[in-house]
Amino acid sequence: MKCWVNKVAIITDCGDEVGFAIMEQLAKAGMIVIGFNKNEDVLEKVTVKLNPVITNKISGKIVLCKCDISDTKQLTAAFEKIQDTYEGVDVLINNAQCNIDCLVNTGESEDFKKIVDININALVACTRLAAGSMIARETRGHIICMNDIRSYQIPMESKKTVYIATKATITSVNEILRHEFRFLKANIKVTNIAYGKIDGYAESVADAPGLRVKDIAKLVKLILNTPEQLQVHEVLLDSVVE
């Protein structure tokens, strides 16, 4: 991770377990990590959780930013502030998602719009802003989209079909970006990580045979630590018991 020390990583939702774990891992590796969330109460809770992490003398830095990524003005302003303060973005972790029940046929229109706005529109907007920063500075960059394995293995019965459809779209967007960056000769990698159900956070495998949050966070760090000439296109991550 030496190439990423003092580089800037944005996590589009630091409020859930996965986002927090990734933020902690990258900060311990020496990165400047900026965590987004639109809810002030969530950011306060994250701040409390961060106290013991910061006490452990992380080599990097964690900054929390109140930002609704579905609001174009807020998002642009947040990226501009990061640009002014840190000169740009080097890593983007698209972790934000709207995971509410909604069927394609009978779901509420407002719920449909909310899912699409967060899972597709906001993700693309964040990606465009981050990639723009990387391309303008001609620096090494990496964009990682946190996905759901259910978009590959569509369940027979689900109340989240709109959510699943948007997650499947992310897979296509990821592959399109890979080809676009190659065409533009941009030194930007893109990786799609689709993970399954998280089943406990205990330390021992015997106590928690399922997928753990720390497994996902360590995988993100591992992918970022790959040689510059090597790109991991996508990863399907699940526990052996599923």
Which uninterrupted H or E stretch holds 27?
helix 17-28
More confident residue, 242 or 45: 45
Is the confidence at residue 41, as pLDDT, over 90? yes
Q: Give the model confidence (pLDDT) of 138-179 as tens digits.
A: 999 999 999 999 998 877 778 899 999 999 999 999 999 999
Is the confidence at residue 239, as pLDDT, over 70? yes
Contacts of 61 by beta carbon, 8 Å cutoff, 6+ apart: 27, 31, 32, 33
What are the extents of the domains in the chain? 2-237
Is the confidence at residue 50, as pLDDT, over 90? no
Q: Give the model confidence (pLDDT) of 97-140 as tens digits.
A: 999 999 988 989 999 999 999 999 999 999 999 999 999 999 99
How would residue 79 be classed by pLDDT, with cut points 50, 70 and 90? Answer: very high
CA distances from 88 to 1, 10, 95, 207, 223 (A): 19, 10, 19, 42, 21
Q: What is the pLDDT of residue 204?
A: 42
Supply the pTM of this predicted model. 0.92
Q: What is the dihedral of CA 113, 119, 122, 125, to 10 degrees?
A: -130
More confident residue, 128 or 209: 128
**The domain 2-237: what is its CATH number?**
3.40.50.720
Is the confidence at residue 207, as pLDDT, over 80? no
Q: What is the pLDDT of residue 202?
A: 45
Q: Which amino acid is at 15?
A: G
Report the SS3 class of residue 100. Answer: coil
In angstroms, rounded to a whole number, what is the distance separating the alpha carbons of residues 168 and 133?
26
- pLDDT mean over 166-195: 96
Report the SS3 class of residue 9. Answer: strand
Report the SS3 class of residue 208. Answer: coil
Is the confidence at residue 56, as pLDDT, over 90? no
Q: What is the pLDDT of residue 154?
A: 78
